[in-house]
Amino acid sequence: MLENLHKLRDKALHALESITDSEELENWRIEHLGRKSELSQILRNLGQLSPEERPAVGQLANEVKLALEAAYDDKAKVLKREELERALREQRIDVTLPGRPVSLGRLHLTTQTLREIYAIFGQMGFQVYESPDVETDELNFGLLNMPPHHPARDMWDTFWISDEVLLRTHTSPGQIRVMRERYPEPIRVILPGKCYRYEQVTARSEHQFYQVEGLAVGHAITLTDLIGTLTEFARRLYGPQRRIRIRGSYFPFTEPSIEADMDCILCGGEGCRVCRYSGWLEVCGAGMVHPVVLQNGGYDPDEWSGFAFGLGVERPAMVKYNIDDIRLFYGNDLRFLRQF
Ligand code: DAH
């Protein structure tokens, strides 16, 4: 019996040596230390041995059990470490892999142009005032001195939402909103934003585009203030040599009304493709705020006067970068957008 125990121990320890993972180790434990193992049976049946045999067998059997348990614990530790090392090795993050590039967006050319315009007018003391794209007929037309059926409405056809609500055709309705909000303060603001017109889309006109409206209201503001402001604007945007030309015009919300041109930035007035051989580029429509409009804004025209203008935003960018089709601004083509 004692020899049997020695053999049993040697066999078990030998089997333990070749074990390489925890599953095999568990099988080994069941086989050699489990309830049905030979060793357990021997221990369980000690009572059936003769009183002479029992002490020696009992002692050895317990020693074998302790030895096997100790060997099991050691092996379990070794395996656990090996398995951890393997996992670390196999699941390691390869820090030498090149990262995925983060694609950076950029500002749309229109946004860049708007920001240049804000900066220039900001230096001249104009605040930015935002007003809504969806307007009422009354603000877009009526309060700007174009009552229903006024023929001037034909200059601006738009997208109607209902009989009274529409997408604004110009930023001018913002004039009324600022005046009503600021009265009786003097006003110096620009009103940037998108405008909409129901018209055929061509290389030169879109059904949506940006404008920057300007409005100054105060005491004794004159046409020369307007011309000075526009000249300064053109010079800051396109260089100090720019010249401005003023032509008489008509808008229902200004009296007198003018249009301002500047000498062509490409040919300086000689005539070229960009200015269509006229030597001049259109800058904006403008004028002295009509007394009726001042009154609609809450300002008494006998005491107050003001000027207003409406600049295009895409057009100047087209001139500056020699872009020949306004549809590119809204086409979402990255090949175009990435150039700016
Ligand atoms: N609202 C006009 C348009 O869209 C542009 C304009 C002209 C605005 C004269 C003004 C102005 O403020 O005084 O065609």
Which ligand 1 atom is nearest residue 170's CA?
4
User: Which residue ranges have their beta carbon within 6 Å of ligand 1?
Assistant: 170, 172, 213, 251, 254, 285-287, 308-310
How many whole angstroms from 267 Cα to the centroid of ligand 1?
27
Residue 142 has what pLDDT? 96
With beta carbons less than 8 A apart as the criterion, state whether 282 and 229 touch: no
Q: Which residue's CA is the nearest one to ligand 1's atom 7?
A: 285
Give the C-alpha distances (Å, rounded to integers) separating 319 from 46, 140, 168, 247, 312.
Answer: 107, 29, 25, 21, 12
Which ligand 1 atom is nearest residue 195's CA?
4
What are residue 260's phi and psi, to 5 degrees?
-110, 135
Q: Which residue's CA is the nearest one to ligand 1's atom 8?
A: 310
Q: Which two tokens stand for residue 314?
A: 């895409």
Residue 292 has what pLDDT? 98
Which ligand 1 atom is nearest residue 171's CA?
1
> What's the Rg (C-alpha) of the chain?
44
Give 219: exposed, middle or buried? Use CB within 10 Å, 0-12, 13-18, 19+.
Answer: exposed
Choosing from 251, 257, 311 the residue with most ligand 1 atoms within 8 A of its CB, the one to mutate for a pocket test is 251
Choosing from 146, 230, 253, 255 the residue with most ligand 1 atoms within 8 A of its CB, the one to mutate for a pocket test is 253
Residue 218 has what pLDDT? 98
Q: How far from the centroid of its chain's Cα atoms is residue 49's Cα? A: 87
Q: What is the DSSP string of 17-78?
A: HT--SHHHHHHHHHHHHSTTSHHHHHHHTGGGS-TTTHHHHHHHHHHHHHHHHHHHHHHHHH
Q: Which residue's CA is the nearest one to ligand 1's atom 5?
A: 310
Please name which of 297, 254, 299, 249 lies closest in space to residue 138, comparing C-alpha atoms.
297
Which ligand 1 atom is nearest residue 287's CA?
13
Residue 279 has what pLDDT? 93
Residue 92 has what pLDDT? 84
Residue 95 has what pLDDT? 84
How many whole angstroms from 276 Cα to the centroid of ligand 1?
23
Which ligand 1 atom is nearest residue 213's CA?
12
Which ligand 1 atom is nearest residue 172's CA?
1
How many whole angstroms from 192 Cα to the centroid of ligand 1?
12
Residue 53 has what pLDDT? 87
Residue 315 has what pLDDT? 87
Predicted confidence pLDDT, tens digits, the chain (340 residues): 888 889 989 999 999 999 988 899 999 999 999 999 998 998 899 889 888 888 888 899 999 999 999 999 999 999 999 889 988 888 888 888 888 999 888 999 999 999 999 999 999 999 999 999 999 999 999 999 999 988 888 888 899 999 999 999 999 999 999 999 999 999 999 999 999 999 889 888 899 999 999 999 999 999 999 999 999 999 999 999 999 999 999 999 999 999 999 999 888 889 888 788 999 999 999 999 999 999 999 999 999 999 999 999 998 898 888 898 999 999 999 999 999 9
Q: Which residue's CA is the nearest one to ligand 1's atom 3?
A: 170
Q: Which residue's CA is the nearest one to ligand 1's atom 13?
A: 286
How many whole angstroms from 251 Cα to the centroid of ligand 1?
7
| Distance from C-alpha of 274 to C-alpha of 31, rounded to nearest angstrom | 94
Residue 103 has what pLDDT? 85
Q: Which residue's CA is the nearest one to ligand 1's atom 4?
A: 170
What number of helices (H) and strands (E) belong to the chain? 11, 9
b/e map of 238-249 (b: 16 or more CB within 10 Å)? beeebebeeeee
Ranges assigned E (strand) in the chain: 127-128, 134-136, 165-167, 187-196, 208-218, 244-249, 254-263, 280-289, 305-312
How many whole angstroms from 36 Cα to the centroid of ligand 1?
100
Residue 96 has what pLDDT? 87
How many whole angstroms from 143 Cα to the centroid of ligand 1?
14
